[in-house]
Structure 1
């Protein structure tokens, strides 16, 4: 390829925002000549690389803005440590059909059993598939809504929680709410009902949500909307966080 044509391609690519092509046009054409690619195959290769780069950049940026505490995937979850948890069920949820159905997922169980890790892994999968996601603890969500209400920005802050295709609300039940805060949660769940998916983690059974939310009537109204279209996963195994420490202790005892 002549230098004139190469320069013209770079100029056109720059105007079209195809920055990767600007840097790799020579390598791509050399590869096409070596592999004797057809015109269509060469064009397909150029577009595939450009799209792949953009998707990778979008994915990284979306993860940065997601609020996720980490970016672990389901492949990193040790299902063998939780034998009562059906991996097929979790992997079925990872197909992300629940998002298209605007359905919810609730993960219940005591602290440390892996609820948050599974919630995060599903959110990462959703992000990778191009869905918008956001992660927050219930305590942080309520704190932000309260602060927004005090400055007349409540509706704007609520809208921010309505925007993502998947909203992960972690640690429901760790701290009790007063009635005003519970009403804010009701408004969120009610507004997202059948419009966007939520993934909830809680260390409390649904029967205990009345005491957590400080109002049995509000708790019932929230659960009515949350559970109408919802997959409920209960995890009752040992602490996932302590598994490596327990393995060290067990190994140490075996050596003594």
Structure 2
């Protein structure tokens, strides 16, 4: 068998993982006894795995998660009120498939951002697009986009994202411009995307952060009525460490 032309043809077709596997099998004496069907199956599996890993790497890069957190490393032993059954249910990403929302609230240092990034990482692994932004940075990006005449394009990009993570919401009240931007973001995601918000402020006080009764009702009605909640408590994990 002339291996080189076949390998080059595979690479030309964009099947580089399959080409590398073919070379590996050809140089492996034990592979000579394998049926051709097994060779083909292994070639296809390697190519599929390579492409899946490449797509995951692109999703993780685009997500810009703040912390390298995974659901496998969640600490359930620390006393902070984390409901293990609820978190493991959220780790299936079914809530993202259902376009539900999630609020993670609790004192500073209790691991809100870490848990949000772990769920964002799992959503990427499950094939969803994710974007992480701290609330101050998100509103700064929106203000800059408005000034540069590209706000509509940024809003469209946010709308297309399956899971938008807004970290460190509050406690400063929103400006009128920020309230309108947040309402548009929330409205765009209604029944089409998921929102994960972390905050030191209890959900019952989010009206105070929005600082406008009418817009507060409109925003929270779209977020809270189908939102899961994780309410953490206790001392800062960083202080304990």
TM range (shorter): over 0.9
Runs of 4+ in 1 over 4 A off after TM superposition: 30-33
Aligned residue runs from structure 1 range 77-156, under 5 A: 77-82=74-79, 84-156=81-153
Instruction: Kindly indicate whether the alpha-carbon contact (under 8 Å) linking 1:182 and 1:218 is maintained by their aligned counterparts in 2.
Output: yes
- Alpha-carbon separation, structure 1, partners of 2:204 and 2:228: 17
Q: Provide the residue aligned with 1:222 in structure 2.
A: 219
TM-score (norm 1): 0.88
- Alpha-carbon separation, structure 1, partners of 2:101 and 2:29: 47
Instruction: Kindly indicate whether the alpha-carbon contact (under 8 Å) linking 2:80 and 2:110 is maintained by their aligned counterparts in 1.
Output: no
Count of matched residue positions in the alignment of Structure 1 and Structure 2: 241
1:76 to 73, 77, 90: 73
Instruction: Kindly indicate whether the alpha-carbon contact (under 8 Å) linking 1:139 and 1:175 is maintained by their aligned counterparts in 2.
Output: no
Compared CA separation, residues 129 and 235, structure 1 to 2 (3 A) = same
1:60 to 40, 57, 61: 57
- Alpha-carbon separation, structure 1, partners of 2:122 and 2:205: 31
Give a deviation string over 1:2-49, Cα, whole Å, max 9, x none: 3x2x11221220121011233332212455853833333221111111
Say which SS state the counterpart of residue 224 (structure 1) adopts.
helix
1:23 to 2, 20, 24: 20
Instruction: Kindly indicate whether the alpha-carbon contact (under 8 Å) linking 1:106 and 1:199 is maintained by their aligned counterparts in 2.
Output: yes
Instruction: Kindly indicate whether the alpha-carbon contact (under 8 Å) linking 1:82 and 1:238 is maintained by their aligned counterparts in 2.
Output: no
1:10 and 2:7 aligned: yes
Give a deviation string over 1:151-199, Cα, whole Å, max 9, x none: 2221111112111111111111143211221111011001111100111
Larger Rg: 1
Q: Provide the residue aligned with 1:159 in structure 2.
A: 156
Q: How much does 1:63 deviate? A: 1.4
Instruction: Kindly indicate whether the alpha-carbon contact (under 8 Å) linking 2:104 and 2:198 is maintained by their aligned counterparts in 1.
Output: yes
1:208 and 2:211 aligned: no
Say which SS state the counterpart of residue 80 (structure 1) adopts.
coil
Unaligned residue ranges in structure 2 (runs of 5+): none
Unaligned residue ranges in structure 1 (runs of 5+): 245-256
